[in-house]
Amino acid sequence: MQPLAREVAELPAADHGVCIRPVSLRRTDITTGATEIIDVPCESTLESRCPACAQRKRSLRRTQCEEGWHLTSEPVVEPDPPSEAQRGWVEQRAVITAERDRLASAGATSAEDLAALDAAISDLDEEISASGLRGSVTRSAGSSSRSRRVRSTKRRQDAPDLPKRPITRKTMATRGTMPG
């Protein structure tokens, strides 16, 4: 069986440290509209895919290690302590939530009163978010219902189709056809 022409062509390329799977990009000048095809190296890190690029990448990584680009220890992210205001909002929310739950379970209050308290709680939630705290109070503190909420990822049939972006030639570069 004869070897594939492409494989024969790849051999000297690899021997000379040239990428054997260059990617053709079409570069469009967005002011003039002129396009040109340029070949860029595939930048693969896999020897089996492209020996030249893999070797270049490996020596780059080695240089980076030698120059101390890598961290010597794992980064530790410590959140800042909460501010007075943040603490205040969360405490106030806890007080109102407890009061709301007490009134609701006693059954001695009107729906309007409960709705007003719920509105106050959601206002406080907004203040809490605005104060810069991450996440929500109920989730991090563990709400009464601990079961995970499961949502379907199926597309809703009652929703209209999402608008499609028209294809324009504004991009700086597009992936062209691979050789072979």
Stretch that binds Zn ion, among 1-9, 42-50, 65-73, 156-164 (CB under 5 A): 42-50
Tokens of 30: 């967005």
Contact map string, positions 46 to 85, toward Zn ion, x by CB under 5 A: ----x--x--------------------------------
Smaller CB distance to Zn ion: residue 8 or 178?
A: 178
Distance CA 141, CA 144 (A): 10
Smaller CB distance to Zn ion: residue 19 or 117?
A: 19
Phi, psi dihedrals of residue 127, rounded to the nearest 5°: -65, -40
Q: How far is the CB of 52 from Zn ion (least distance, A)?
A: 6
Smaller CB distance to Zn ion: residue 55 or 138?
A: 55
Determine the number of helices (DSSP H) and then strands (DSSP E) in the chain: 5, 3
CA 88, distance to chain mean position in Å, is 33
Tokens of 172: 């700086």
Q: Which residues, numbered 96-125, are part of the site for Zn ion (CB under 5 A)?
A: none
Q: How far is the CB of 175 from Zn ion (least distance, A)?
A: 15
Smaller CB distance to Zn ion: residue 141 or 178?
A: 178
Q: Which residues, numbered 6-25, are part of the site for Zn ion (CB under 5 A)?
A: 19
Distance CA 90, CA 125 (A): 8
Smaller CB distance to Zn ion: residue 50 or 133?
A: 50
42 part of the interface to Zn ion, by CB under 5 A: yes
Residue 177 carries which DSSP code? P
Q: How far is the CB of 54 from Zn ion (least distance, A)?
A: 8
Q: How far is the CB of 65 from Zn ion (least distance, A)?
A: 22
Residue with tokens 């062509």: 9
Distance CA 86, CA 75 (A): 26
Q: How far is the CB of 44 from Zn ion (least distance, A)?
A: 5
Strands, E assignment, 9-154: 23-28, 35-40
User: Helix axis angle, 111-130 relative to 84-106, nearest 10°?
Assistant: 160
The binding site for Zn ion (CB under 5 A) comprises 19, 41-42, 50, 53
